Amino acid sequence: MANRVVVTGIGVLSPIGLTTGEFWAGLCEGRSGIGPITKFDVTEFPAKIAGELKGFVPEERIDRKEARRMDPFVQYAVVASLMAVEDAGLDLSHENPSRVGVLLGSGIGGIWTFETQHSILMEKGPGRISPFFIPMMIADMAPGHVAILLGLKGPNYTTVSACASGAHAIGDAFRFLQRGDADVMLTGGSEASISPMAVGGFCSMKALSLRNDAPSRASRPFDAERDGFVLGEGAGVIVLETLDHAVKRGARVYAELIGYAPTADAYHITAPCVDGEGAVRAMRLALEDAQLRPEEIDYINAHGTSTLIGDRVETMAIKTVFGDAAYRLAVSSTKSLIGHLLGASGGVEFIATLLCLVHDVVHPTINYDYPDPECDLNYVPNTAQERRVRAALSNSFGFGGHNVTLAMKKFT
């Protein structure tokens, strides 16, 4: 019989807050974290806005010398992991290090390091490239650094599946615990991709919102006037444990993770399948894995990117899975507030879903002003809603046709 798996710790760094309390308050208030890009000169870029971390100082939690040898996405992952361990009250000195693992997703990895070192190559030649270039850039260094810092010797790797990366990491960690391959897993995602190449690349795809004159109103999932997504950055890491392990150490339990389903569209490198078939299977299989009926779900944290096709397809998929019950659901998009954190979105949005379930409050989809006739569900427009959340789903879909749905319920 599979082990039950529970969430006992949370660590989150987001454009609306650098602590769980700040993040939750921002979600409930409907406070946008989108503003002008300050990390580089955006004069020649069509899109000039993003959801940047504000006030993040890595040296407050990481040795200065070590921090300089980490790409920002690794710094975010390390700090969020430390926060999650502390929140869980987990004393790692009392744990078998081989039974504690780290799985963290990142869609792009160390792109800031890549761009910086490429500039050095072009300006000064190959002899001036940093010897830390490769270990700073590669995506697996997020869980690698966390494991080294905390002495964790259990399962350790990175999932890379674009915007589904963080959700895949959580799902894989869930399976390790269910099978008994570990007692504790730190898992989620991290991303720091507000860089010239990333912003320029997404601009070339015409994927980003161009509402530069109104940043806080630019990310508007399901709204008829949406014009693309807004990049964000940050990290979301949770502590997952087997229920037996959590009970033995007297841990506080936030909720129980009960279902996971990854699927593929096998359709297109960037666009979702037009009938939502992959998303439909992900939600149905997650419900089956969780042994839940559709009517037992009260809330869905949507992928909800603020793109024309993506929001319509996800709405269609929800209606296919839930039928008439879809109109009873609360459906909201965290991306309306913080932008699209790419590989970190699955981790941060899992935490948002978890907090909605814990507090019986569903955070809003902000900037929902002009209903799209094809997006006609309860997207919790602009104001948080108090409602009982017994069980919830979190959807993450990525370029390449990757789909993940995670299911959680109140712990009893």
- Let me know if residue 78 belongs to a domain: yes
Mention every residue, 6+ apart, whose C-beta is less than 8 A from residue 136: 69, 70, 71, 74, 110, 113, 130
- Let me know if residue 212 belongs to a domain: yes
- Let me know if residue 13 belongs to a domain: yes
Same structural domain, 275 and 210: no
Domain boundary among 227, 248, 269: 248
Q: Tens-of-pLDDT digits for all 412 residues of the chain? A: 799 999 999 999 999 999 999 999 999 999 999 999 999 999 999 999 999 999 999 999 999 999 999 999 999 999 999 999 999 999 999 999 999 999 999 999 999 999 999 999 999 999 999 999 999 999 999 999 999 999 999 999 999 999 999 999 999 999 999 999 999 999 999 999 999 999 999 999 999 999 999 999 999 999 999 999 999 999 999 999 999 999 999 999 999 999 999 999 999 999 999 999 999 999 999 999 999 999 999 999 999 999 999 999 999 999 999 999 999 999 999 999 999 999 999 999 999 999 999 999 999 999 999 999 999 999 999 999 999 999 999 999 999 999 999 999 999 8
**Strand segments (E) across 131-282:** 156-159, 184-191, 234-242, 255-264
Same structural domain, 180 and 279: no
User: Please, are residues 379 and 224 in contact by the beta-carbon 8 Å criterion?
Assistant: no
pTM as predicted: 0.97
User: Please, are residues 331 and 379 in contact by the beta-carbon 8 Å criterion?
Assistant: yes
Same structural domain, 267 and 134: no
Same structural domain, 21 and 96: yes
- Let me know if residue 123 belongs to a domain: yes
Distance CA 39, CA 256 (A): 38
Catalytic residue, chosen from 145, 168, 245, 340, is 340
Q: Count CB-CB contacts under 10 A for residue 148.
A: 14
- Let me know if residue 71 belongs to a domain: yes
- Let me know if residue 253 belongs to a domain: no
Same structural domain, 194 and 268: no
Q: Looking at the 3D structure of the chain, how many domains does it have?
A: 2
Q: Which range marks the domain in which residue 405 is found?
A: 260-409
- Let me know if residue 255 belongs to a domain: no
Domain boundary among 208, 224, 248: 248
In the numeric block, the tokens 């399976």 are attached to 175
Catalytic residue, chosen from 145, 168, 303, 363, is 303
Looking at residue 1, its pLDDT comes to 79
Domain boundary among 188, 218, 248: 248
Same structural domain, 203 and 266: no
Catalytic residue, chosen from 145, 163, 245, 356, is 163
- Domain with residue 230: its CATH number is 3.40.47.10
**Is 163 a catalytic site residue?**
yes
**Is 303 a catalytic site residue?**
yes
Nearest Cα neighbor of 165 from 181, 149, 143 is 143
According to DSSP, residue 211 is labeled -
**Is 340 a catalytic site residue?**
yes
Same structural domain, 214 and 271: no
Same structural domain, 91 and 189: yes
Nearest Cα neighbor of 101 from 188, 165, 162 is 188
